[in-house]
Structure 1
Amino acid sequence: MRVLTGRAGTPTYARKRGPNLLSTGQLRFEDSNLEPIAQKVLGGERLEFRDGVSLYRSSDLLAIGYLANYVREKLHGNRTYFNVNRHINPTNVCVASCRLCAFGRKPDAPGAYTMALDEAFRLAGQGWTEAVTEFHIVGGLHPDLPFQYYVDLIRGLKERFPSVHLKAFTAVEIGYYSHVTRLSIREILEKLKEAGLGSLPGGGAEIFAPAVRRVICDHKIGAHTWLQVHRTAHELGLHSNATMLYGHIESAEDSTDHLL
């Protein structure tokens, strides 16, 4: 991307905003494929699948960054939001054997661990200050821990740190709890919410494309179940987000499909 400067050498985009940059020819892209996308972005139009693929394949990072920041400022002004969190991983013991994972361990493997509840509470206390706004809690799919362990973990943390938001358990974990307890996904989420759960993290989404999941995480739930867990969480008033694992065997089309 090149931005033509004014007489004082100030980049034009610092003084003008919106469609005028393109209509006056002051904003020029190194990648011409981005020009129709920019017209949509600056005009407030929704992007299509092919637009996403073009963005992924473009090397004009300055132009993409400009367009992304334009949308950000249009939505939020000159503000950036963040939280201060602490991670708690109660166990790394996991029945799955996903190729992408360096965290999980089999029960008898070196480095395998499972925290007692008091140990988890103590760890939370060591990392807590008044600035902490969130505990982020995820772990392995333990073959022996009862579901009540996770309910008691959430309840105990909420009792000890009532002002801290609890974001806990990926859709993969929720699906696993449902499988081993024979309770529905809704029942699992209801019990956790009653104990103090505030939201779900976005882990386990990886890439939704089935062909990719079969290679990198074939032991995890599929995209349909992942989305079902999050839809149910939203119906219960819980918030959530979604992550994307990229930079492995996925294509630009896979990544775009994941986002849409």
Structure 2
Amino acid sequence: MSDTLSRIEEKVADGESLSFEDGVALFETPDLLRVGQLANSVRERLHGDRTFYNRNLHLNSTNICEADCIFCSFARLKSGMPQAYAMSVPQALEWIRERFDPRMTEIHIVNGLNPDLPFDYYTGLLSAIREEFPTLHLKAFTAVEIHYFAEKFGMSYREVLERLREAGLGSLPGGGAEVFAPRARKKLCRDKVDADGWLQVHGEAHALGLKTNCTMLYGTIETVEERVDHLLRLRE
């Protein structure tokens, strides 16, 4: 493993892309400090001695969700269940007002896949927040939600994103990616859009000038190889 890490260090120093095998080796090595040093060397090369953060507020305006993901404690499958809720737009605005801090830079909005809400609810929510809090960047709706909107309301991904952008959407969060591997995804979140659809939504967002990020849910049932595959699909 020491020789393998040395070869990886040479590739990192030369700015070469790492291979699938390199990724597996980095996950499997017990030398966590050395991996951290490699990651930090890339960070310093790109950004010097700076680090980046934002001050945001997370808004979940409804937890009613048609998806039944086995790891989720947030969702309620239907209205009327204990603790199920759906905020009106005025209620969401009041919720933000109660927590607003002038130092905040962003509102992060992620919701359940609520079958009872019209598309105008989501555009209206963005428009209302933008009007009252014009300094805040609006990062909202995962690719899973965008896919759900497209299917439910008979629109393409691009049409959904264009209408949300017009209402104030600034970027997409990275949730819903979980692990791209079909084997793991089928067990963890069978009701969510598959990896190809997730990536297509983000590709459409980029084409419209929207920034996006990505998450990876790891430490459940996925293999090391599936983690690396997830990362490589993002890079590609």
Do Structure 1 and Structure 2 share a fold, with TM-score over 0.5?
A: yes
Match of 1:182 in 2: 154
1:173 equivalent to 2:145? Answer yes
Equivalent position to 2:182, from 183, 206, 210: 210
**Structure 2 Cα separation of the partners of residues 34 and 125 of structure 1:** 51
- The count of residues paired between Structure 1 and Structure 2 equals 231
Equivalent position to 2:26, from 13, 30, 55: 55
Name the structure, 1 or 2, with higher relative contact order (CA <8 Å, separation 6+).
2
Match of 2:63 in 1: 92
Equivalent position to 2:116, from 140, 144, 149: 144
Instruction: Please give the residue correspondences for 1:41-120 in structure 2 after superposition, counting only pairs within 5 Å.
Output: 41-106=12-77, 107-120=79-92
Match of 1:240 in 2: 212
**Structure 1 Cα separation of the partners of residues 131 and 2 of structure 2:** 55
**Structure 1 Cα separation of the partners of residues 2 and 174 of structure 2:** 32
Q: With structure 1 as the length reference, what TM-score do the two structures score?
A: 0.87
Larger Rg: 1
Give secondary structure in 2 for the equivalent of 1:45.
coil
Q: Percent identity?
A: 53
Q: Which runs of 5+ in 1 are unaligned?
A: 1-29
**Structure 2 Cα separation of the partners of residues 186 and 71 of structure 1:** 34
**Structure 1 Cα separation of the partners of residues 111 and 15 of structure 2:** 40
Tell me which amino acid in the other structure corresponds to 2:138: L
CA shift digits 1:208-232 (9 cap, x unpaired): 0001100000010000110111000
1:207–1:245: 8 Å Cα contact kept in structure 2?
yes
Deviation at 1:125, TM superposition (A): 1.4
Q: With structure 2 as the length reference, what TM-score do the two structures score?
A: 0.96
Pairwise CA RMSD of aligned residues?
Answer: 0.9
**Structure 2 Cα separation of the partners of residues 135 and 126 of structure 1:** 14
**Structure 2 Cα separation of the partners of residues 183 and 42 of structure 1:** 46
Runs of 4+ in 1 over 3 A off after TM superposition: none
1:226 equivalent to 2:213? Answer no
CA shift digits 1:97-142 (9 cap, x unpaired): 1112111102222111110111100111122111100000001000
1:31–1:60: 8 Å Cα contact kept in structure 2?
no
